[in-house]
Structure 1
Amino acid sequence: MSRTLDPAPPAVPATPARPSPRVYRRRRIAVFGTLGVLLATLIGGGAYATTTLTAPVPEHAPVVVDPAPIAATAQAIAQPGFGTWAVGAVGFDGLLAAGGQDTPMPMASIAKVVTALVILEAHPIPAGEGGPGIAYTDADIDLYWDMVAQNGSVAPVAAGTTLSLRQSLEAMMLPSGNNYSISLAQWAFGSVDAYLERARAWVAEHGLANTVIADTSGLSLENTSTAADLVTLGQLALQDPTLAEIVATKQVEIPGLGTLENSNKLLGAHGVDGIKTGTTDDAANLLFSADVPVGSGSVTLVGVLLGGANHPQVREGIADMIETIAPGFHEVVAVEDGSTLATYETAWGDTATARATESATVVVWSDTPVDVAVSAEPVTLAADGSPAGTAVVTAGSQRVEVPLELDGTLDDPGTWWRLTNPGGLD
């Protein structure tokens, strides 16, 4: 007979072993031990806690971004190849280029620029006005014929007429009327000698140490100057609004005199807007100014070329100089608005940057380097937008300061970080 075996009883799940009291005890020690240390620090170690929680936040030194200097290649210039010459620019120190600039040369009628400036210093003309009236007499007619006899340049004059000071200066400057230079000097100072005394003092006061004034007109070859001095003289002329307007005028109608033409035939070409021709028996000269476009603005050149064989040669030499000098000017964006120039980071993880609050653009000539010096200040606690220092842009004599502003917030680390990082603020 067979025997039937009963099935095996079902397995009973094992009951998890309860952790021993020792394990619980270890966990409590781990959790509450940390709290105990903190409580002990706060309660039992009050001096340490007070020091830790009240320790001042140290200064955070910036990491400065130091932009590399910017410099273009040197600009090549078409030099005249004759005479002496120099070119400068308004707002730029020194000369851009020159040749024989310290050699004294007869300046001829360029001396009338001194005459005009000295007279306008004594009798300034308000903007939009003609100035005082000047009555012309037979004595002025005599001066006219005297200048004709000496082969000097003249402008017409009529006895019994009255011209404004501005009209009289136009007659002296545009057609280069030697007779008007004498008439005006006598009217303004009482005599030619009194004028010469003041003119020589004026030249010295303005640092034109190599300029000699011998008469009112430049007819005498003893009226000498250097190209370097005459660039300074040209810049002084442009600073007087009345004279700057007169020398930029191609022609003018004056009642009783008719149409007076400017002897500067380069006016209106190559940006030229002044200043004065000068002619001797042996040479042609031109003191010139020219506005050349640069980026969104322009630069005013002031230069002179002395000792040309004739005026066409001088005009060609100056035109070539202007056309090769002008491309040597360029705008440089040295600092861009919002650019990061320094960074900050704290031990507890706060970060911020020092950013430029505006752009800084400079116009430079040729290979003049542009440098940016960043002076970012150390900070402790600082809110977003706080001042953070300056960036100073220098290019030759130009200097531009750009304020820096904090982008980000540097907060106190808080109680927990202070307690869990003993010595972290040292």
Structure 2
Amino acid sequence: MHDQPRRVSRQVYRRRRMVVFSLLSVVLVGILYVSGSLFAPVPATAAVTEHEASIAQPKAALTWPGWGASGITAPDYPGATEYHGSSASVPIASVTKTITALVVLDKKPIASGQNGPTISFTQKDVDIWNQVIAEGGSWAPAVAGTSMSEKQALEAMLLPSANNYAISLTNWAFGSSRAFVKAANAWLAAHKFTGSKLDSPDGLTPGSVSTTKDLIGIGKLALANPVLSAIVSQKSVSLPGAGKQDNTNTLLGVGGIDGIKTGNTDQAGNCLLFSAQVTVGQSKVRVIGVVLGAPTHDDLWAGVKTLLNSMTNGFHEVDASKAGRAYGTYTTPWGAKSTLVSTATKMFVVWSDTPIQVSMQTRPVQSGEKGEVVGQVRFTLNGTTQTAQLALAKAIPDPGLWWRLAHPGGLGA
């Protein structure tokens, strides 16, 4: 009789224990769920990017003279070299004196900041002057008993294009014009100017010839020599015995022109080997060009200016990236959104339609502060690369408790 109540009591106790354990289990599961929701990582979001694979500008259209032969280059820009007209070797008149100056400086170099050794002038140099006048060549006065530095003698040869100073200078450096011509042709061969040959130091005779391609290379060497590049950029100079002498290159200062040498004979026509620093946006671009065989000086000046202007217009200053430019968007599953923006401006000077290659790297984010760097964009032009960091335009917040509780399936790394 007494066992029945005990059995009932034990059954009630077992039921209560089951209820308590069930409630505890539910509470524990709930705690684990909430804890998991609070501390489990939210899914990382990848950016949807928007950028061009390359940036290209319109192709340049050079305006060439309708006569003779021409060439032009921007040495620092691959692909910015073009030629027009004949590639044959032709007479180059007093442009020859650029070669003469380079060969003399190779034999008798002038140290930086110096003027070189002193050259004394005698009656022989006066006789050379008179002979040049008789031949109808360009000249500058020579006075026996006076002296000049080597640099001044080069100025006398190059600025007024004085044939007599070309002869006197090479006599001083090599002993005779014949010895100079031999040395000059060896120098041309050594520099692989295979289309060029001299038969005099002044270019008066038609046997001093070159090509537009060779002359572009010779122009580069002239500019690379600090003594020579400084001389040819002068508009005038005052010289012992010769007085004031003006540069025959009257285009100096026009369109950035700062050299190099004129030339004119009946056989060569009117010629100019020129250099310029042209302005492209906020940048300067070095240009070297040559125009040969112009019918008149006016034709030459007009042809050079038009060609140089078209070359300048063929360059573009390109803002490949500006600070704040958008490159994509992060959009999270919980509705947060932030634009991916560049933190810096990256500028290039581009020749013609040369493309700027664009590539981008970003990382997935779960949350982030405004300005946090999350990637980079790379711009490559002719092997040179610039990089701009990419950052969040505004913060991406954590989704918060309620979204976490409501989206257990959206959690996880």
Residue matched to 1:257: 242
Residue 236 in structure 1 maps to residue 221 in structure 2: yes
Q: Distance in 1 between matches of 2:320 and 2:410?
A: 44
Q: Distance in 1 between matches of 2:112 and 2:348?
A: 31
Q: Report matched runs for 1:319-334 at 5 Å.
A: 319-334=305-320
Task: Identify the match of residue 392 of structure 1 among 371, 379, 387.
Answer: 379
Task: Identify the match of residue 365 of structure 1 among 322, 326, 351.
Answer: 351
Instruction: Check conservation: 1:328, 1:365, Cα contact below 8 A.
Output: yes
Residue matched to 1:79: 64
What is the TM-score normalised by the length of structure 2?
0.76
What is the TM-score normalised by the length of structure 1?
0.74
Task: Identify the match of residue 31 of structure 1 among 23, 26, 30.
Answer: 26
Pairwise CA distance, 1:280 = 1.9
**Unmatched tracts of structure 2, length 5 or more:** 1-14
Pairwise CA distance, 1:113 = 0.8
Residue matched to 1:11: none
Q: Distance in 2 between matches of 1:316 and 1:101?
A: 20
Instruction: Check conservation: 1:105, 1:224, Cα contact below 8 A.
Output: yes
Pairwise CA distance, 1:256 = 1.5
Render the CA deviation track for 1:349-370: whole Å, top value 9, x for unaligned. 999987645322122234x143
- Bigger radius of gyration: 1
Render the CA deviation track for 1:291-330: whole Å, top value 9, x for unaligned. 3332123333322111122222211222232344433332
Residue matched to 2:291: 305
Q: Report matched runs for 1:276-287 at 5 Å.
A: 276-282=261-267, 283-287=269-273
Q: Distance in 2 between matches of 1:340 and 1:422?
A: 28
Render the CA deviation track for 1:10-52: whole Å, top value 9, x for unaligned. xxxxxxxxxx9899769826633526978xxx9xxxxxxxxxx
Q: Distance in 2 between matches of 1:173 and 1:128?
A: 19
Pairwise CA distance, 1:126 = 4.3
Pairwise CA distance, 1:334 = 0.8
Instruction: Check conservation: 2:43, 2:412, Cα contact below 8 A.
Output: no
Cα distance 1:217–1:410, how it changes in 2: closer, same or farther (>3 A)?
farther
What is the aligned length? 388
Task: Identify the match of residue 119 of structure 1 among 104, 109, 112.
Answer: 104
Instruction: Check conservation: 2:237, 2:246, Cα contact below 8 A.
Output: yes
Cα distance 1:124–1:35, how it changes in 2: closer, same or farther (>3 A)?
farther
Residue 295 in structure 1 maps to residue 295 in structure 2: no
Pairwise CA distance, 1:96 = 5.0
Query: Which secondary structure state, in structure 1, belongs to the residue aligned with residue 71 of structure 2?
Result: strand
**Unmatched tracts of structure 1, length 5 or more:** 1-19, 43-52
Residue matched to 1:45: none
Residue matched to 1:153: 138
Matched AA of 1:118: V
Q: Distance in 2 between matches of 1:204 and 1:224?
A: 13
Instruction: Check conservation: 2:275, 2:286, Cα contact below 8 A.
Output: yes
Pairwise CA distance, 1:109 = 1.1
Render the CA deviation track for 1:154-201: whole Å, top value 9, x for unaligned. 222122211011110110001112222232223334444554454334
Q: Report matched runs for 1:93-172 at 5 Å.
A: 93-100=78-85, 102-172=87-157
Q: Distance in 2 between matches of 1:101 and 1:354?
A: 53
Q: Distance in 2 between matches of 1:59 and 1:236?
A: 58
Matched AA of 1:241: P
Task: Identify the match of residue 205 of structure 2 among 205, 214, 220.
Answer: 220
Q: Distance in 2 between matches of 1:201 and 1:129?
A: 27
Cα distance 1:240–1:60, how it changes in 2: closer, same or farther (>3 A)?
farther
Residue matched to 1:200: 185
Residue matched to 1:316: 302
Instruction: Check conservation: 1:64, 1:376, Cα contact below 8 A.
Output: no
Residue 179 in structure 1 maps to residue 164 in structure 2: yes
Cα distance 1:202–1:83, how it changes in 2: closer, same or farther (>3 A)?
same
Give % identity. 36
Pairwise CA distance, 1:134 = 1.3
Query: Which secondary structure state, in structure 2, belongs to the residue aligned with residue 154 of structure 1?
Result: coil
Query: Which secondary structure state, in structure 2, belongs to the residue aligned with residue 220 of structure 1?
Result: coil
Q: Distance in 1 between matches of 2:244 and 2:383?
A: 44
Q: Distance in 1 between matches of 2:44 and 2:116?
A: 65
Q: Distance in 2 between matches of 1:287 and 1:162?
A: 29
CA-based RMSD of the aligned residues comes to 4.3
- Which deviates further from its counterpart, 94-103 or 245-254? 94-103
Query: Which secondary structure state, in structure 2, belongs to the residue aligned with residue 153 of structure 1?
Result: coil
Residue matched to 1:47: none
Instruction: Check conservation: 2:137, 2:163, Cα contact below 8 A.
Output: yes
Matched AA of 1:167: Q
Q: Distance in 2 between matches of 1:347 and 1:186?
A: 86
Cα distance 1:95–1:370, how it changes in 2: closer, same or farther (>3 A)?
closer
Pairwise CA distance, 1:336 = 1.7
